[in-house]
Structure 1
Amino acid sequence: MNRIIWSCVIALTVFCSCKNQSEKPEQEKKKETPEVVSKEAVKPIFSFSFVGCNRIDRHNQSPSNPSTANMYALDRMYEHMNNLAQKPEIFFFLGDLVLAESDTIHLNSQLNAWKKVYENNPISQSSIELVAVPGNHEMLTYTPSGEIPLARSTDVWLRYMKDYMPTSRKTAPDTLGLDNRLSFTFTKHNVGFVVMNTDTYNANGLEGQVPVNWVNQQVEAFKKDTAIDHIFVVGHRPYYVGGNPDTGHGGLPQGGQLWPTFEENRVVAMLSAHQHDYERWQPINDALGGGTYQIVAGHGGSVNNRHVPHSPPFFGYSLITVMSDGTIELDTQGYCTGDTYLAPVPKNPMTSRDKTTLTWAKNPKGFPDPYEGCQ
């Protein structure tokens, strides 16, 4: 009899245990069996491309090319970008589209011709949105003592390039004597962009000026915005060149007032040109182990002034893809240049020159050698 009673007790205990297990809250069950996201579920949210410095040198000017663009490099970039299976939604042209750097007459005629070249290219009818960013050759004039702001250059830029600035942009207010109409912010998907005119017109005759306080405020505002997961700062001039700060003509004089804010608010990268070369650096931040990237994408078709008369090792553009799992992929495309920077080289294929994930920690891939594979 005791055996029967004990058997019933055991059976009842097991039944209750199983019942309690099956009735555990759904939330607890999920904790016990964490969801594993397969790689197949990770998809691109969107991509954008960027490059700058396509203008020709002064001694290569010709009436047959009123746009002063390196036409072979320009057409080849447009064609390659437009033929991608997944086209970028935005293409940032990071300044020095034209030669100019003299007076508003030349700036006017060259931008007018450049716009006609763009409108006659199939890319202008594609789904790719052009966002044009001015460079020093559009904003400054050359004098024997150096480059200084060109009066009314902003008006000329807006005459031709206003159509290539996002309609949803929020323009910086004019402050401290700066004409900030060409600095703005906008968002796309879960990304916030701060676009700087890095040669903002000012009456003080200073090159390389930006609305510092406004830029820092916009970066901080994007960081607090729960809809924004990634922040990029875009402008013609870089702050880091060759991994080192450059506050002279080759870089950004006020960069030291900006970079700490970029690091503190985890800006993914500052995207620039100006140097006629390609560089990817992640200035070392000991506290964070890596930090914000400086990507110099000045490999758009201009002669490399540091190695005259030789051209950069390759011309092309860079592509960034934002993935659904939060990773950010960089793919820099380029073709090896010829004996001169204007020479057509149809047999030189467009290939990936630098492909990596933009990690916040120190990038394990290190820095690329753009000369590898090109003479």
Structure 2
Amino acid sequence: MKTKKLILLLLLACCMVSCNSKKKESEKVNSEKETYQKQDSITFSFVFLGCNRVDRHQQNDTTATNASTANLSAMKRIWTEVANLPRKPELFFFLGDMVLAETDTINLNNQLAAWIKLYNNTDFSPISTSNIETVAVPGNHEMLYWHDYNVPNHDEWPLKGATQVWMKHMADFMPKDRDHITGNDSINNQMTFAFTRKNIGFIVMNTDTYNAPTKENPYGLEGQIPTNRIITKVEAYKNDPAIEHIFVLGHKPYYVDGKPHTGHHGIPEGPVLWPKLEENKVTAMLSAHVHDYQRMQPGNKGTYQVIAGNAGSPGPAKFFGYTKIDIMSNGEAKLTAVGYDVGDPYYKAVPENPSSVRDETILSWTKNKNLYQKN
């Protein structure tokens, strides 16, 4: 009898030890899960995109656009999807070519006014009441004019008065706390500015800053930026211990298809600017202009060039959509490109084509093994 009791007590003790062991293991797993989730929580999020204007041949096609010359179906869908994200981004950057313009200040004035009406129409644009801060950046279609002059490989030039028209309509889409150029150069350079949000430094460039015609350049020069000012701000953010990530944004990129460009597709000052971005560990340069989505890490390390010019303008992009960057609590910057297959014609609404993740990666400073495969 005593032996049976002893055996029962031993079995009960083993059971209790096993249960305690399982409980501790469960608590450990839950603790590790909570720690992992905490590390992976989003502390700040922003969206960027550009190039939504229609082609010249569609500017009077009411099935494609209205007085704004925006691709209506793409713009409405993107604004709606971003506004309905489970975790709304704090910032939304529109990186230029939101209107067709590129002719004269009359067209620019009228099209920007119509664009703002679209933005403020809550039925069309739920993002306008979403509390997401929208920052607008001019592109070549807002800053230049196009002509048929017989000039080899060059047909866009600075449009006098475009800066004033932009500021008249779009000043409310620029952060009130921005740090911008003052003094003699302030009028032409006021669309290049910097601001911070949490631990992030944003430097916004007007990549087609107005410059007057000269004897050497009778039409002025396209692709001009206040390079020294931008570099100075990049260095200041790098030396600020409160800033953990720096992003430089502008309409035109420097790298396209993995190669540097200093002509119409890129930035003439790129060879001066890019090394400074890498030297100061800028996370990424974010651009549009090319009607495509591209993610590159020139030199297979360091600063990224991301092009998100796939917001609705015709071109090589196979999907229209937006790109989002989440800053994580563990310090990582996670990029996600979301989009839907382009319809035929490109301005056709295609609700049957679902939006999905087209690219996703951590913007690592070392070589990124997760290369973007165009699809």
Q: Same fold judged by TM-score > 0.5? A: yes
Match of 1:125 among 125, 129, 132: 129
- What pairs up with 1:305-344 in 2 under 5 angstroms? 312-344=317-349
Match of 1:49 among 41, 47, 50: 47
Cα distance per residue 1:277-317 (max 9 Å; x no partner): 00000000xxxx6010000000000000xx5xxxx200000
What secondary structure is seen at the aligned counterpart in 2 of 1:38? helix
Match of 1:169 among 178, 198, 202: 178
What secondary structure is seen at the aligned counterpart in 1 of 2:298? coil
What secondary structure is seen at the aligned counterpart in 2 of 1:315? strand
The aligned counterpart of 2:115 is 114
The aligned counterpart of 2:291 is 276
1:41 positional shift? 1.8
Q: CA RMSD in A?
A: 1.7
The aligned counterpart of 2:314 is 303
In the alignment, is residue 221 of structure 1 matched against residue 218 of structure 2?
Answer: no
Percent identity of equivalent pairs:
53
In the alignment, is residue 260 of structure 1 matched against residue 275 of structure 2?
Answer: yes
The aligned counterpart of 1:39 is 36
Aligned CA distance change for structure 1 residues 321 and 272 (closer, same or farther; 3 Å):
same
Aligned CA distance change for structure 1 residues 174 and 313 (closer, same or farther; 3 Å):
farther
What secondary structure is seen at the aligned counterpart in 2 of 1:252? coil
1:326 positional shift? 0.5
Match of 2:144 among 134, 140, 143: 140
Cα distance per residue 1:215-261 (max 9 Å; x no partner): 00000000000110100000000000000000110111111110010
Does the aligned pair in 2 maintain the 1:175–1:211 contact within 8 Å? Answer: no
Moved more, 333-342 or 49-58: 333-342
1:165 positional shift? 0.2
The aligned counterpart of 1:232 is 247
- What pairs up with 1:346-365 in 2 under 5 angstroms? 346-365=351-370
The aligned counterpart of 2:26 is none
In the alignment, is residue 69 of structure 1 matched against residue 70 of structure 2?
Answer: yes
Aligned CA distance change for structure 1 residues 174 and 100 (closer, same or farther; 3 Å):
farther
1:177 positional shift? 9.8
What secondary structure is seen at the aligned counterpart in 1 of 2:282? coil
For structure 2, the residue ranges without an aligned partner over 5 or more in a row are: 1-31, 214-219
What secondary structure is seen at the aligned counterpart in 1 of 2:324? strand
Separation in structure 2 between the aligned mates of residue 320 and residue 368 of structure 1, nearest angstrom: 18
1:172 positional shift? 2.1
The aligned counterpart of 1:84 is 85
The aligned counterpart of 1:30 is none
Code of the residue aligned with 1:84 in structure 2: it is: L
Aligned residue pairs total 326
Match of 1:158 among 148, 151, 167: 167
For structure 1, the residue ranges without an aligned partner over 5 or more in a row are: 1-34
Q: Compute the TM-score of the two structures, normalised by the length of structure 1.
A: 0.84
Aligned CA distance change for structure 1 residues 203 and 177 (closer, same or farther; 3 Å):
farther
Separation in structure 2 between the aligned mates of residue 362 and residue 37 of structure 1, nearest angstrom: 29
Code of the residue aligned with 2:324 in structure 1: it is: L
In the alignment, is residue 186 of structure 1 matched against residue 208 of structure 2?
Answer: no
1:37 positional shift? 9.0
What secondary structure is seen at the aligned counterpart in 1 of 2:47? strand
What secondary structure is seen at the aligned counterpart in 2 of 1:279? strand
Match of 2:302 among 287, 291, 300: 291
Cα distance per residue 1:193-231 (max 9 Å; x no partner): 000000000114100000000000000000000110100
Separation in structure 2 between the aligned mates of residue 206 and residue 75 of structure 1, nearest angstrom: 34
Does the aligned pair in 2 maintain the 1:178–1:202 contact within 8 Å? Answer: no
Aligned CA distance change for structure 1 residues 47 and 147 (closer, same or farther; 3 Å):
same
Does the aligned pair in 2 maintain the 1:177–1:203 contact within 8 Å? Answer: no
Separation in structure 2 between the aligned mates of residue 357 and residue 138 of structure 1, nearest angstrom: 33
Separation in structure 1 between the aligned mates of residue 372 and residue 318 of structure 2, nearest angstrom: 16
Q: Compute the TM-score of the two structures, normalised by the length of structure 2.
A: 0.84
Aligned CA distance change for structure 1 residues 175 and 342 (closer, same or farther; 3 Å):
same
Cα distance per residue 1:46-83 (max 9 Å; x no partner): 10000000000011012741000000000000110011
